[in-house]
Copies of this chain bind each other. A is one copy, B any other.
Amino acid sequence: MHSVFKYRKLIPSLFVLMSWGVCVAPGIYGGQISDEGVPAATNVLNAQYPRVHSDLSVTFRVRAPHATSVQVAPSGNNNGLGAGPFDMARGEDGDWTVKIPPARPGIHYYSLLIDGFSCPDPSSSTFFGWGRETSMVEVPDASLKFYEIRDVPHGEVVIKWYHSKTTGLPRRAFIYVPPGYGADTEKRYPVLYLQHGAGESERGWTEQGRANFILDNLIAEGKSLPMIIVMENGYAYQPGELPAPGGRRASHFDELLVTDLVPMIDASFRTVPDRSHRAIAGLSMGAGQALSIGLGHPEMFAYVGGFSGVMRNFDPHTAYSGVFTDADAFNKRYRLLWLGCGVMDELSYAGNRASHEALNAAGVRHVWFDCPGAHEWQVWRGLLHEFAPLLFRE
């Protein structure tokens, strides 16, 4: 038996969404705003906040009439939004608001703290980061168009499920295929394997990184060769291997990539299945995985890139099973070793720079690229934009 009360409760809530043709959820401010700001590109449909102003200050607003404390908390250190947490001020209507100082351009992780509880902002799309679904705010950079969606031919992102022998489970990969892939069904393409960072997922490089738009633009400008990009999840456990509290290393991603993923991709997509048409790169944790797998498997990869990897105490005589000890052999064997990092990256910059200098001293040919920015996606977008044009050249 369903009470009349319940019935009437359902109708207005669904009808609001259905009959308006306007979709604004409770807690989200969807009204018209008279200031010069614009809703962040990362907002859900019709949410007017967070709102980015012309000076790149950002106003956040959330409806939480019963909370006693509401804050905006940028995630991690040296976040482009500032240190935070930023206290929000309560209005009479139960809307909490804060305008934070001008932010760095880029896409920045943040949470709301509702009476101290960390949760996403209902106005924001969620992105997988920090091990959970997390809000982000995109602060535009009017001077940079390389990661915007532009009026050029677009590739597609294919979500492909496959069975992994390593994990004993089905998994999925996100695979960028370049513009024209479906049209010329004879043409074969080189492949870049591209990994996300700690706490992120196979969604990261397209959703946070816009890798697909970056490549669309590079290819349209003739700066990159058309290529396939494979993005998988860097976490992989063997059957029965419980994720352990307390620190046991449990990722078998290297094995998964070599024995499951690469063969599946070569069987399913029109690749050129040899080392000189295969690259691997990644960011942060994914840089460690890319360097380890790429340098450990010269028979598979001729191009290797590390973006903002944590390279501590790097010693070219011992690193990566001694692959650099014979620099001449390395220089003949690998077509590209590429390291990049933001100079404000407190986690990775010093180690990357030292590694670069040690490689130089050891006579190991490589490319070193540093740029403004911290341990953040705006840097990784930029590093991909620098790295991709160098791939698969003779």
A residues engaging B (CB < 8 A)?
Answer: 2, 6-7, 9-11, 13-14, 17-28, 30-32, 44-46, 64-68, 76-78, 83, 112, 114-120, 122-126, 128, 130-133, 149, 151, 154, 156-163, 170, 182, 185, 197-199, 201, 206, 212, 235, 242-245, 247-251, 268-269, 284-285, 288, 310, 346-347, 375
Contact A19 B131 (CB under 8 A): no
What 7 A-B pairs come out closest when comparing CB atoms?
Answer: A25-B131, A66-B116, A21-B251, A10-B77, A17-B198, A119-B119, A18-B198
Quote the shortest CB–CB distance from A303 to chain B (angstroms).
24
Residues in chain B near residue A28, CB distance under 8 A: 131-132
Quote the shortest CB–CB distance from A373 to chain B (angstroms).
14
How many angstroms from the CA of A249 to the CA of B18 in the assembled complex? Answer: 9
Residues in chain B near residue A19, CB distance under 8 A: 247, 249
| Of the residues B65, B119, B130, contact of A17 by C-beta under 8 Å | B130
Number of copies: 2
Given contacts A25-B199, A154-B160, contact A7 B346 (CB under 8 A): yes
Residues in chain B near residue A65, CB distance under 8 A: 116
How many angstroms from the CA of A45 to the CA of B83 in the assembled complex? Answer: 28
Quote the shortest CB–CB distance from A97 to chain B (angstroms).
15
Given contacts A76-B10, A158-B157, A235-B23, contact A17 B120 (CB under 8 A): no
Residues in chain B near residue A117, CB distance under 8 A: 27, 64, 66-67, 114-115, 119
Given contacts A7-B346, A11-B347, A27-B118, contact A156 B159 (CB under 8 A): yes
| Of the residues B2, B126, B251, contact of A126 by C-beta under 8 Å | B126
Q: Which residue of B lies closest to A21 (CB)?
A: B251
Contact A112 B122 (CB under 8 A): no
Contact A21 B114 (CB under 8 A): no
Q: Which residue of B lies closest to A7 (CB)?
A: B346
A-B contact pairs, 20 of them (CB 8 A): A6-B83, A14-B284, A14-B347, A17-B199, A19-B247, A19-B249, A25-B132, A25-B199, A26-B118, A27-B117, A28-B132, A32-B242, A44-B133, A114-B117, A115-B117, A117-B119, A119-B119, A120-B120, A126-B133, A149-B161
Given contacts A78-B10, A115-B67, contact A17 B285 (CB under 8 A): yes
Residues in chain B near residue A347, CB distance under 8 A: 10-11, 14
How many angstroms from the CA of A45 to the CA of B151 in the assembled complex? Answer: 37
How many angstroms from the CA of A219 to the CA of B312 in the assembled complex? Answer: 52
| Of the residues B114, B131, B185, B199, contact of A114 by C-beta under 8 Å | B114
Residues in chain B near residue A2, CB distance under 8 A: 77-78, 346
Q: Which residue of B lies closest to A66 (CB)?
A: B116
How many angstroms from the CA of A156 to the CA of B173 in the assembled complex? Answer: 10
Residues in chain B near residue A125, CB distance under 8 A: 133
Quote the shortest CB–CB distance from A215 to chain B (angstroms).
12
Quote the shortest CB–CB distance from A163 to chain B (angstroms).
7
Quote the shortest CB–CB distance from A286 to chain B (angstroms).
10
Residues in chain B near residue A32, CB distance under 8 A: 242, 244-245
Residues in chain B near residue A162, CB distance under 8 A: 154
Contact B31 A245 (CB under 8 A): yes
Contact A23 B115 (CB under 8 A): no
Contact B115 A268 (CB under 8 A): no
How many angstroms from the CA of A144 to the CA of B123 in the assembled complex? Answer: 36
Contact B133 A122 (CB under 8 A): yes
How many angstroms from the CA of A250 to the CA of B18 in the assembled complex? Answer: 11
Contact B149 A156 (CB under 8 A): no
| Of the residues B30, B120, B130, B161, contact of A245 by C-beta under 8 Å | B30
Residues in chain B near residue A115, CB distance under 8 A: 66-68, 114-115, 117
